[in-house]
């Protein structure tokens, strides 16, 4: 929600956070993690229905970002839980009880990542946090300011990576299992996996509402937006606009067209490439390993507007 020049300064400090050579090196690790999670899923399916969210889609993003940031695996469960609670503060109409959960989660996340930055300050390594500290030391007048900047960046990366990617993974599996003919078509044409993921992102975006702050007085669809006023962009509605998409309520993995799930312009998602890679690795493995997978019950959703979340996705083997 920042505008230039502050936004430009922060964006430049991280650069291309996931360059192609970095992702190429990390692909094998993501594939192995996806394989281990699917092993566990298959073990559970041998005894009956299992929850895809708990066993796979909630796990892959936190393991991926945790390994990248060099976080202790023992902390993954805590970070996943705190992230789920923290996003309530970004909802349109959170209940008082939800705001209380968010406030407590924010306090614990602040403690966790403040300690992490301090530890990397004492013992720098080849991890992103240590690299950001080195960069921001050259930007800020003192170490305390640099530490604060890196704290906010690290916290943002975790919050952005876990909740959204988990939804993409679970939503991808849900939609393809609900459209079995398209799933069978994709299984024989894996080269269309990237396009299928784009349709998942259009049809059920992980974030249905994006906040932006007007940098100047602006006229938008006949409405005057004053400088520094916040506007909520309803991405979920835009993705189903019949003026933009033919038959927008139809899920069609052969559809070609733009979407706004990764934002746009100067606010384009930092983690787009990583999120896509996780989805591609998981879907590729699923198409090969579990041809008989099916939904075994109704999905359960979190009660939200902005951040979509599947709480449970029951699956079974045919």
Ordered by start, the domain boundaries in the chain are: 6-205+271-317
What was the pLDDT predicted at 239? Answer: 96
Superfamily in which the 6-205+271-317 domain is placed by CATH: Cytochrome P450 (1.10.630.10)
* Interval 61-98: pLDDT, tens: 999 999 999 999 999 999 999 999 998 888 888 889 99
Residue partners of 166: CB distance under 8 A and separation at least 6:
53, 57, 58, 60, 61, 309
Mean pLDDT of 210-229: 92
Residue/partner pairs of 104-109 with CB below 8 Å, 24 or more apart: 105/81, 108/82, 109/79, 109/82, 109/83, 109/155, 109/158, 109/159
For residue 14, pLDDT beyond 80 = no
Distance of alpha carbon 107 from alpha carbon 90, whole angstroms = 15
SS3 242: coil
Distance of alpha carbon 80 from alpha carbon 88, whole angstroms = 14
Which two three-digit tokens encode residue 193? 């996996």
What was the pLDDT predicted at 283? Answer: 97
Q: pTM for the full model?
A: 0.91
């Amino acid at each position: 929600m920042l505008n230039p020049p502050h936004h430009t300064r922060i964006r430049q400090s991280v650069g291309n956070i996931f360059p192609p050579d970095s992702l190429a090196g990390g692909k094998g690790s993501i594939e192995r993690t996806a394989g281990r999670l699917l092993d566990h899923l298959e073990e559970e399916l041998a005894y009956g229905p299992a929850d895809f969210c708990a066993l796979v889609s909630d796990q892959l993003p936190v393991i991926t970002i945790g390994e990248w940031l060099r976080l202790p695996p023992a902390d993954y469960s805590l970070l996943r839980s705190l992230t789920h609670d923290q996003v309530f503060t970004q909802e349109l109409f959170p209940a008082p009880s939800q705001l209380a959960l968010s406030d407590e989660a924010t306090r614990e996340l602040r403690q966790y990542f403040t300690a992490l930055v301090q530890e990397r300050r004492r013992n720098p390594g080849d991890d992103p946090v240590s690299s950001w500290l080195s960069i921001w030391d050259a930007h800020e007048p003192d170490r305390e300011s640099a530490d604060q900047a890196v704290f906010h960046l690290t916290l943002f990366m975790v919050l952005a990576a876990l909740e959204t990617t988990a939804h993409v993974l679970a939503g991808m599996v849900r939609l393809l299992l609900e459209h079995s003919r398209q799933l069978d078509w994709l299984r024989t044409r894996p080269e269309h996996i990237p396009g299928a993921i784009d349709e998942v992102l259009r049809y059920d975006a992980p974030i249905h509402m994006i906040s932006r702050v007007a940098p100047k007085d602006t006229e938008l669809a006949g409405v005057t937006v004053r400088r520094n006023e916040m506007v909520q962009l309803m991405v979920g509605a835009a993705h189903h606009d019949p003026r933009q998409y033919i038959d927008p309520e139809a899920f069609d993995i052969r559809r070609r067209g733009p979407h706004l799930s990764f934002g746009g312009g100067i606010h384009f998602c930092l983690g787009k490439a990583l999120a896509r890679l996780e989805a591609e690795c998981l879907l590729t493995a699923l198409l090969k390993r579990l041809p008989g997978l099916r939904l075994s019950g109704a999905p359960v959703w979190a009660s939200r507007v902005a951040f979509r979340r599947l709480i449970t996705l029951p699956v079974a083997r045919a």
